[in-house]
Amino acid sequence: MLWTWGDTALRRRFSARLCWDAGQDPAVSSQGCMHEAARERIGTRRGCEDRVDMASAEGQQGQQGQHSQHGQQSTGSVGLKQAARGEAHGHRHRDVSGGWLRPAVFGAMDGLVTNVSLIAGVGGGGAQRHFIVLTGLAGLSAGAFSMAAGEYVSVSSQNELVAAEVSKERYELEHNPEAERRELAAVLRGQGVEPDLADQVARQVSTKPEQALRMHVREELGVDHHELPSPVVAAAASLVTFAVGALIPLLPYLVGFTSLVAALILAGLAAVVGGGLVARLTDRPFWRGALRQLLLAAAAAGLTYAIGRGFHAAVG
């Protein structure tokens, strides 16, 4: 009850103040003044609220525009960064045609397996330490030079064969250019190039004799005659790595050991490390290459040891 009376009095005072503000006598037309002034005040308040809403909306739009512009700038900077990374992106391949990796791996593993098998066979036959050392050194030198000579002759013969085929291809390009052009276009079509584009590429390449020869050799022979392996590099890699591999099982005897077990353990460790490193060099798991090389070395050494023991038992 008190709240209702107080609220009514408050409204009356508020109405009178509205009338005075409107320049009217509140006693004459307080109700109409109140309604008119109230409408004006309400309209003013609504106008203010509308302006505030509009300002708020404009502010939000401005913020959205700024966010959008910032987003566009961020997207643009990201794109520029990605483009910069794309331009800077690149990868380099290791030399796979220099002719050193295959003979080096072959030489090291061959030297290790050959000499540990030789030492195991001679040791299984009951030979003395000095005889085992002599046998191991003879096997090392003979195997190293034999591997080097074989690699040099093999790689040289392969390069000479490629050179002969390149000469034949050069002759065909000089005397039958149109037929060679059609042949190159057919090769390109076989690789998925559209016929018109393949013919266009073949015509353009054929205008440069050396480039055309290189492309014909690469597509028809599967080699690049400008990047052939070196027979000297292959021979040197084979000689050095075979000697290193063959020396490992011989080391215990050279430093005074007389036990075959020490040589076999050292050779087994070398097989694990060597096989694992070769596997990592070719991006394969370490344990896979290590286990493979260990099993092969153990099989060869076990076989020759059994032969030596059998020979010793038979001869006495």
196 found inside a domain? yes
What DSSP string runs through the chain?
Answer: -HHHHHHHHHHHHHHHHHHHHHTS-HHHHHHHHHHHHHHHHHHHHHHHHHHHHHHHHHHHHHHHHHHHHHHHHHHHHHHHHHHHHHHH-------SSSS-HHHHHHHHHHHHHHHHHHHHHHHHTT--HHHHHHHHHHHHHHHHHHHHHHHHHHHHHHHHHHHHHHHHHHHHHHH-HHHHHHHHHHHHHHTT--HHHHHHHHHHHHTSHHHHHHHHHHHHHS--TTSPPPHHHHHHHHHHHHHHHHHGGGHHHHTT---HHHHHHHHHHHHHHHHHHHHHHTT--HHHHHHHHHHHHHHHHHHHHHHHHHHHHHH-
* pLDDT score of 316: 65
* pLDDT score of 216: 85
Residue span of the structural domain in which 198 resides: 101-315
Cα atoms found within 13 Å of the Cα of residue 265, Cβ hemisphere only:
7
Give the residue among 293, 296, 290, 294 at the shortest CA–CA distance from 276.
290
d(CA 238, CA 148) in angstroms, rounded, equals: 5
56 found inside a domain? no
166 found inside a domain? yes
257 found inside a domain? yes
Q: Which two tokens stand for residue 193?
A: 């190039």
* pLDDT score of 91: 56
Query: Domain count of the chain?
Result: 1
pLDDT tens sequence for the chain (316 residues): 434 444 444 444 444 444 444 444 444 444 444 444 444 444 444 444 444 444 444 445 444 444 444 444 444 444 444 444 444 555 565 555 556 778 888 899 999 999 999 999 999 998 899 999 999 999 999 999 999 999 999 999 999 999 999 999 999 888 988 998 898 899 889 888 898 998 998 899 888 888 888 888 888 888 888 888 899 999 999 999 999 999 999 999 999 888 899 999 999 999 999 999 988 888 899 999 999 999 999 999 999 999 999 988 888 6
* pLDDT score of 308: 93
* Residue 126 CB-density burial (10 A; 0-12 exposed, 13-18 middle, 19+ buried): middle
161 found inside a domain? yes
Give the residue among 154, 155, 147, 153 at the shortest CA–CA distance from 245.
147
277 found inside a domain? yes
35 found inside a domain? no
d(CA 251, CA 201) in angstroms, rounded, equals: 61
Q: What is the Cα gyration radius of the chain?
A: 46
* pLDDT score of 240: 96
Place of tokens 């408050």: 10
182 found inside a domain? yes
**Structural contact between residues 216 and 176, judged by C-beta atoms closer than 8 angstroms:** no
Measured between alpha carbons, how far apart are the two ends of the chain, in Å? 133
**Structural contact between residues 107 and 147, judged by C-beta atoms closer than 8 angstroms:** yes
Give the residue among 43, 21, 46 at the shortest CA–CA distance from 33.
21
